[in-house]
Amino acid sequence: MLTGLHIAIIGGDARQLEVIRKLTDLDAKLSLIGFDQLDHGFTGASKEQLDEVDFSNVDSIILPVAGTNNEGEVDTIFSNEKVVLTEELLSNTPEHCVIYSGISNHYLDNLAEKIKRRLVKLFERDDVAIYNSIPTVEGTIMMVIQHTEFTIHNSNVAVLGMGRVGLSVARTFAALGANVKVGARKSEHIARIFEMGMKPFHLSHLESEIQDVDVCINTIPHHIVTASVISRMLPHTLIIDLASKPGGTDFRYAEKRGIKALLAPGLPGIVAPKTAGQIVANVLSKLLREDILERKGNKE
């Protein structure tokens, strides 16, 4: 249980509703900022304006997956209120206050450093990234079906990158009957791809390996699908770029060559907001216990 914890949940989308549901079930006291247009009420949670919250009593701040923009503004789909995190507001929090965000940027990193509060980036954790790869793969399948006129079964699919997303994507497309080849740069990744019954290739051979591919799925957050790679593709090749913005594809050149290339960020929140929210909520409830309740308990 999280009895006795006061948590400020600031902004977010449908995923954050699962976090609110879970934390109120666990008996935490919640201040919801940026939720004034949300019809649903939660016992133990009160909707407040940012300047109404007494941050000196707040044990933790939970931000949405995207964190803030570079001006400190937090996105919220349940309010028209502009919510901006400032040093002035957050410096009132007690020293043990932990800030949780999906990802971070310069603004948020600097802010946490200045006010000397711990910032936890949930999406850097392996467990969150692996669970999150499940709805990401389902969203990728949806996009490939929507943007091709052939079956996934028996098509030639190249997956670039063998990280947490790449592995899940490759395995699932292979299970759907595609002929999957995976591009990686580490010998242990090449070995694993071979062990899984797929065709491995080193990324240094990308230009020659891409020539017979129907669908290219990139998971590498680095400029990898260059103009020169795209120039070798078949005219009907579909590129789905899953890597975080700006992706790893030369979209300008793809458009010039008439190759369909789609940047597909945030698929879990689009195709399965409830599951994506539950993934974050489950990890958060464990971390809040370990990071705050147990430490507070040890001090007392």
Residues that bind ligand NAP (CB under 6 A): 129, 132, 136, 161-166, 184-186, 203, 219-222, 242-244, 264-268
When the beta carbons of 16 and 219 are compared against ligand NAP, the nearer one is: 219
Q: How far is the CB of 86 from ligand NAP (least distance, A)?
A: 27
Element (H, E) at 45: strand 45-48
CB burial of 184-216 (b: ≥16 within 10 Å; e: otherwise) equals beeeebbebbeeeebebbebeebeebbeebbbb
When the beta carbons of 98 and 193 are compared against ligand NAP, the nearer one is: 193
d(CA 237, CA 235) in angstroms, rounded, equals: 6
Q: How far is the CB of 107 from ligand NAP (least distance, A)?
A: 18
Structure tokens at 135: 């709805």
Cα 51 to Cα 83, 174, 188, 228: the distances in Å are 10, 52, 52, 53
When the beta carbons of 89 and 242 are compared against ligand NAP, the nearer one is: 242
When the beta carbons of 60 and 68 are compared against ligand NAP, the nearer one is: 68
Q: Which residue is nearest to ligand NAP (CB)?
A: 163
Q: How far is the CB of 241 from ligand NAP (least distance, A)?
A: 8
Q: How far is the CB of 58 from ligand NAP (least distance, A)?
A: 29
**158 phi and psi, to 5 degrees?**
-110, 125
Report the amino acid identity of residue 115: I
When the beta carbons of 26 and 130 are compared against ligand NAP, the nearer one is: 130
Show Cβ contacts of residue 137 under 8 Å, excluding neighbours closer than 6 positions. Answer: 165, 168, 169, 172
Q: How far is the CB of 240 from ligand NAP (least distance, A)?
A: 9
